[in-house]
């Protein structure tokens, strides 16, 4: 049995009831076979894959808090500290009823490779709770966040573990968490990222994931003799990533013709008017269908179907598994030649396999949306320096990081004889750096 298959069987056996974690390990290890097979003897002797697939630490704790009726509620809290070979753990906190240890281990595992790709000194972690902030009052959210941090503070610190936001954890939650950390520890330090601009947040963090996605897309196109200007682009979603992907694509001369939300999608053949979308989504918190009220020449369609619109490039920026095998076939039949993932895991495994097999230009989320965590890393740097960089300074660093990620994925794919396979390239490049650091640091 190959080392990869042996380890995968062990992970399944030793982590019962954790299907998401099993799936992530399988997908990553499968794409790393080339590098693992080439180094099998050394990696086996050093137990590299055993260590790579076992989190350094998983903390699980009780989070009691009082609701507005005066009743005590209890949620589960977690922090998965997966790998600190190349830096303090870094990764978001997710507050959502679906949160469990399997999902957080899957996300933490992926985060190790994503953070490595950014070139910044960040290990991988993830955390959160099955608490649902939807429908809760500000006071209830604060009560929950304070209780959550009253345990979490023991495990984190600016040089140990620096959490950020994720689903259900935005500026409000980060503010409450930061306030409680400071109060308990007496430390005013960059222990969390995604903070407000008045207390250590970074300019350009809001734009970072969407802008970064388009920067790396642009690099991938140029490296393959193509350009973004004049191309027709599909964007799905209309949240943070989608809006700023659309903005940057337009600035670079592309025509974005679609956006969506979980109810339906809009098609504007004249090009999306982003000020209208921002007003609906960022100001009024409305639905994407309201776009056609302002732009009657555009069309709104209820339900799925954004991937049926003919275009050159697709940027899935909504959610996981939003682009399946059928969608992938439709995109290819309609002439799409490049796909870059703004969301985490938006393409199903089958869709990804088809893109790779057909050799279109496909940049996986791990590389394509890394601009978000990279800019969180830049927020950490600014906090340590006690300085605030301008928007332009942060944006320039982000551009350089995305160029560098492309170069690393491209180079690794070429070195292992699969040029243009950026799925393998991104995983290999991220993995090599982490393994090198693990080997150098001895048996830990
Ligand atoms: P938002 O919550 O701001 O936006 C998500 C968008 O996707 C909304 O328009 C939402 O519509 C839509 N959506 C959600 N579910 C579906 C669905 N089933 N079908 C169609 N549309 C749907 O999130 P973000 O933009 O921040 O994140 C989007 C993705 O990018 C996520 O996968 C996230 O993990 C990933 N990501 C985000 C980063 C960041 O910095 N923000 C960094 C790296 C990755 P609705 O309003 O109807 O819910």
Cα gap 169→149, rounded to integer Å? 13
Q: From the CA of 241, how far away is ligand 1's center (Å)?
A: 7
pLDDT digits 0-9 by tens, 324-379: 999 999 999 999 999 999 998 899 989 999 999 999 999 999 999 999 999 999 99
Q: Catalytic: which of 90, 105, 114, 126? A: 126
DSSP 239-276: SHHHHHHHHHHHHTT-EEEEEE-SSEEEE-TT---HHH
Query: Ligand 1 within 6 A of 344 CB?
Result: yes
Q: Does any ligand 1 atom lie closer than 6 A to the CB of residue 262? A: yes
**Is the model's pLDDT at 153 over the cut of 90?**
yes
Asked if 75 and 118 touch (Cβ cutoff 8 Å), the reply is: no
Residue 86: per-residue pLDDT: 98
pLDDT of residue 103: 94
110 lines ligand 1 (CB under 6 A): no
The reply to whether ligand 1 has any atom less than 6 angstroms from the CB of 239 is yes
Q: What percent of the chain has pLDDT over 90?
A: 96
Instruction: Give the model's pLDDT for residue 302.
Output: 98
What mean pLDDT do residues 420-434 have?
97
Phi-psi domain of 165 (left: phi exceeds 0; alpha: psi -120 through 50; beta: other): beta
pTM of this prediction? Answer: 0.94
Among 96, 128, 209, 241, which residue has the most ligand 1 atoms within 8 Å of its CB, making it the best to mutate?
A: 241
- What is the rounded distance in angstroms from the CA atom of residue 356 to the CA atom of residue 352? 6
Q: Residue 316: what pLDDT?
A: 98
What are the E-state strand segments in 100-190? Answer: 123-129, 161-164
For residue 137, CA distances in Å to 134, 144, 181 come to 9, 11, 21
As a whole number, mean pLDDT of residues 38-47 equals: 96
Judged against a pLDDT cut of 90, whether residue 320 lies above it is answered with: no
In whole angstroms, what is the distance from residue 349 CA to residue 254 CA?
A: 28
Q: What is the pLDDT of residues 212-225, one digit of tens each?
A: 999 999 999 999 99
321 lines ligand 1 (CB under 6 A): no
Q: Which two tokens stand for residue 333?
A: 């039949």
Please name the residue whose Cα sits nearest to atom 32 of ligand 1: 343
Task: Give the whole-number percent of the chain exceeding pLDDT 70.
Answer: 100
Long-range contacts at 60-64 (CB < 8 A, ≥ 24 apart): 60/101, 61/151, 61/152, 62/151, 63/129, 63/131, 63/144, 63/147, 63/148, 63/151, 64/147
Q: Is the CB of 343 under 6 A from ligand 1?
A: yes
pLDDT in tens, 170-197: 999 999 999 999 999 999 999 999 999 9
Q: Which ligand 1 atom sits nearest the alpha carbon of residue 342?
A: 30
Q: Going by CA atoms, what residue is nearest to atom 40 of ligand 1?
A: 372
| Active site annotation includes 248 | no
Residue nearest to atom 22 of ligand 1 (CA): 262
Q: What are the pLDDT digits (tens) for 92-139? A: 999 999 999 999 999 999 999 999 999 999 999 999 999 999 899 999
Q: How far, in Å, from the CA of 262 to the mean position of ligand 1?
A: 9
Query: Using one digit for the tens of pLDDT, what is the confidence trace for 154-167?
Result: 999 999 999 999 98
Cα of 38 from ligand 1 centre, angstroms: 38
Q: Is the CB of 375 under 6 A from ligand 1?
A: no
- Give me ligand 1 centre to Cα 6, in Å: 36
Q: Whose CA is nearest to atom 36 of ligand 1?
A: 343
Point out the ligand 1 atom lying closest to the alpha carbon of residue 166: 34
317 C-alpha to ligand 1 centroid (Å): 6
pLDDT, residue 167, reads 87
Query: Which pLDDT does position 285 carry in this prediction?
Result: 84
Nearest Cα neighbor of 277 from 312, 239, 305 is: 239
């Amino acid at each position: 049995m190959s080392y990869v298959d042996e380890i995968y069987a062990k992970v399944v056996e030793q982590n019962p009831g954790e299907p998401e974690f099993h799936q992530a390990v399988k997908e990553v290890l499968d794409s790393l076979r080339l590098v693992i097979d080439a180094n099998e003897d050394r990696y086996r002797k050093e137990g590299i894959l055993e260590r790579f697939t076992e989190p350094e630490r998983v903390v699980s704790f009780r989070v009691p808090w009082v609701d507005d009726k005066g009743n005590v509620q209890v949620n589960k809290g977690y922090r998965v500290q997966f790998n600190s070979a190349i830096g303090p753990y870094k990764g978001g906190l997710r507050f959502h009823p679906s949160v469990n240890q399997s999902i957080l281990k899957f996300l933490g595992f992926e985060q190790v490779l994503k953070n490595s790709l950014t070139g910044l000194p960040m290990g991988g972690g993830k955390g959160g709770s099955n608490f649902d902030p939807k429908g809760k009052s500000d006071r209830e959210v604060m009560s929950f966040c304070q209780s959550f941090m009253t345990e979490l503070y023991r495990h984190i610190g600016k040089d140990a573990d620096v959490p950020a936001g994720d689903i259900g954890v935005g500026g409000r939650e980060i503010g409450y968490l930061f306030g409680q950390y400071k109060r308990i520890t007496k430390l005013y330090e960059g222990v969390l990222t995604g903070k407000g601009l008045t207390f250590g947040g970074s300019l350009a963090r809001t734009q970072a994931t969407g802008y970064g996605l388009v920067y790396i897309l642009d690099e991938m196109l140029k490296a393959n003799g193509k350009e973004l200007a004049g191309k027709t682009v599909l964007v799905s979603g209309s949240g943070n990533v989608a809006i700023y992907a659309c903005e940057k694509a337009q600035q670079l001369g592309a025509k974005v013709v679609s956006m969506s939300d979980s109810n339906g999608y809009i098609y504007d053949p004249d090009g999306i008017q982003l000020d209208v979308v921002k007003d609906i989504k960022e100001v009024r918190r409305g639905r994407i269908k309201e776009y056609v009220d302002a732009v009657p020449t555009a069309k709104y369609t209820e339900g799925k179907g954004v991937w049926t619109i003919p275009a050159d490039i697709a940027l899935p920026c909504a959610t996981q598994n939003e682009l399946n095998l059928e969608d992938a076939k439709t995109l290819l039949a309609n002439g799409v030649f490049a796909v870059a993932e703004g969301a985490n895991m938006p393409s199903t495994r089958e869709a990804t396999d088809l893109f790779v097999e057909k050799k279109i230009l496909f940049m996986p989320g791990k590389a394509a949306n890394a601009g978000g965590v990279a800019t969180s890393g830049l927020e950490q740097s600014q906090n340590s320096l006690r300085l605030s960089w301008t928007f332009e300074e942060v944006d320039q660093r982000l551009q350089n990081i995305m160029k560098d990620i492309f170069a690393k994925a491209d180079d690794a794919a070429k070195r292992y004889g699969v040029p243009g396979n950026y799925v393998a390239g991104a995983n290999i490049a991220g993995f090599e750096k982490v393994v090198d650091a693990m080997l150098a640091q001895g048996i830990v």
